[in-house]
Amino acid sequence: MNIIHNVKEQLVAALKRAATAARQAGILEFTELPDFVLEVPREKARGDFATNLALVLAAQVKKPPRRIAEALLQYLELPRPGVAEAEIAGPGFINFKLEPRFFLQALPAVLRLGESYGCSNMGKGEKVQVEFVSANPTGLLHMGNARGAALGDAIANILAAAGYEVTREFYINDAGNQIENFALSLEARYLQALGVEAEIPADGYHGQDLVETVNRFIEQVGDKYLNADPSLRREMLVSFALEEKLAGIRQALEDFGVYFDVWFSEQSLHDSGAVAQTIADLQRAGYVYEKDGALWFKATAFGEGKDEVLVRSNGLPTYFAADIAYHRNKFERGFKRIINIWGADHHGHVSRLKSALAALGLEVDRLEIVLMQLVRLFQGGEILRMSKRTGQYVTLQELVEEVGRDAARYFFVMLKPDSHLDFDLDLARSQSAENPVYYVQYAHARICSILRLAADRGIDLPEPATVNLELLREPPEQELAKKIAEFPEVVAGAARSLEPHRLTRYAHDLAELFHVFYTECRVLADEPDLRAARLLLVLATRITLRNVLNLLGVTAPERM
């Protein structure tokens, strides 16, 4: 059920036939039909669709584009019913106008589909995994993680709507050097709390949160590990702290409306031998050598600038080695598309990882990495530096408290991932009421208000099949219906490109057209048939608004 998609396909086919017919008649000479587009023109006065076919043909045909367009029109059979007229404009575009009531057909179907309006079977049920956030479990979530959470969750939602079977995964970096540091820092705090002099490593974790964590640890076990074997002491501290930190992360994400299907432990890859196995397989493939007591991956064989260490001279595998094993594991789990949402500071890692996966004989094209640029925080005109070690950062929890979940999520998803994001805290606090998300939510609340009033007055909701759509003759009514009809195309486009910000654009445009309609047309009119038709339009708008907000992880309030 996608009337726009259907009519576009018909038009494209008709255009191809027209070009072929003109060639056979000897009017247009060309060897191969070039790629052309059929798109919605920016200026709505130009019609509903426009094609540049005559323009792109000009290179081969060697005639003025407008002349070519004339020839095409001569042989073009317009799909009917649907397309009302075609005309040549500008340098040689062909503009098409649909019959005014064409888009109104979509309305009954929207009501029938309800929550699933906008969904498609594009993904054909293929398994896709989206891994995102994957924050270090040694602290709290910061603004960069928040952006990743909003973005990753929206992408996962959109893919699910487009017919993929989606798994959301959080990779827990619970191994390696940082955990060592974490352990030493915890140990120092533990000893300090028990009155023993101890120092946190220079590059350790100095945040106040560890003091509190250690205090809770002491409430449970007291000074039991004061004189214990240091490695046991650290192990107990780490396992306690990680559990607590992860629970906090999970809670913060849930408060942000983000849930994961799988929490995948890096340590489990070491424990299961997967890391060792991966290194051995790379070795067998001939891409590993030893130098200075370490094992190196021959990344230069894949065009990289330099080789990478897999196993350090102290015998411990690197994060890189574990990440290769992790991604191999993803392939083994059968995902057709493997999508990672990474901060731009990891971009150097992308091609290295892909090289290693190629060395293992895996189809690297199945791995898609969305790099998002980092978030810079401003306060009082100054940059706030974020650092786990110094404990100075604004957390996701604070963000949600300050600006609200809906506003924060909308804001993060509104920007394309490539854009650097300067987040002005003062602005976010003061302007939260002017956030564009309210514009969209307000449209939804207004609709609910109309429906409440209708119920109060004992007005029945229309039966879609019996509504006379012909009564919707006003331009705002038809434009709103057209925008509603576009929704499935927009979702599919966002899924293809992994660009959720297309949906915030769409949501804004839809809300705008509704507000105009609301101002111009009275829904609860006296005339029952017109009222029923407008109620149908309003109900379809509500469904579409709700569905698009849902995909973005933003609530659709009934009152504001």
The distance of closest approach from Cβ of residue 557 to RNA in the complex, given in angstroms and rounded to an integer, is 7
Q: Is 303 exposed, middle or buried (0-12, 13-18, 19+ CB in 10 A)?
A: exposed
**Which ranges constitute the DSSP H helices of 333-414?**
347-359, 396-403, 405-414
Cα–Cα distance for residue pair 18/25, rounded to 1 Å: 10
Which is nearer to RNA, 52 or 478 (by Cβ)? 52
Three state DSSP letters for 506-536: HHHHHHHHHHHHHHHCCCCCCCHHHHHHHHH
The distance of closest approach from Cβ of residue 275 to RNA in the complex, given in angstroms and rounded to an integer, is 12
Cα–Cα distance for residue pair 487/505, rounded to 1 Å: 11
Which is nearer to RNA, 358 or 525 (by Cβ)? 525
Using N-to-C axis directions, what is the helix angle for 501-520 and 475-497, rounded to 10°?
Answer: 170
3-class secondary-structure state, position 264: strand
Which is nearer to RNA, 27 or 516 (by Cβ)? 516
The distance of closest approach from Cβ of residue 93 to RNA in the complex, given in angstroms and rounded to an integer, is 4
Q: Can you spell out the DSSP letters for 441-486?
A: HHHHHHHHHHHHHHHHTTPPPP-GGG--GGG--SHHHHHHHHHHHH
Which is nearer to RNA, 332 or 434 (by Cβ)? 434
The distance of closest approach from Cβ of residue 247 to RNA in the complex, given in angstroms and rounded to an integer, is 20
The distance of closest approach from Cβ of residue 28 to RNA in the complex, given in angstroms and rounded to an integer, is 15
Q: Is 393 exposed, middle or buried (0-12, 13-18, 19+ CB in 10 A)?
A: buried
Which is nearer to RNA, 115 or 558 (by Cβ)? 558
Which is nearer to RNA, 124 or 452 (by Cβ)? 452
Give the CA radius of gyration of the chain: 29
Which is nearer to RNA, 166 or 327 (by Cβ)? 327
Which is nearer to RNA, 52 or 120 (by Cβ)? 52
The distance of closest approach from Cβ of residue 353 to RNA in the complex, given in angstroms and rounded to an integer, is 9
The distance of closest approach from Cβ of residue 150 to RNA in the complex, given in angstroms and rounded to an integer, is 14
The distance of closest approach from Cβ of residue 552 to RNA in the complex, given in angstroms and rounded to an integer, is 15
3-class secondary-structure state, position 145: helix
The distance of closest approach from Cβ of residue 82 to RNA in the complex, given in angstroms and rounded to an integer, is 19
Q: Are 68 and 54 in contact (CB under 8 A)?
A: yes
The Cβ of residue 528 has, within 10 Å, a number of other Cβ atoms equal to 11
Cα–Cα distance for residue pair 526/444, rounded to 1 Å: 23
Which is nearer to RNA, 141 or 166 (by Cβ)? 141
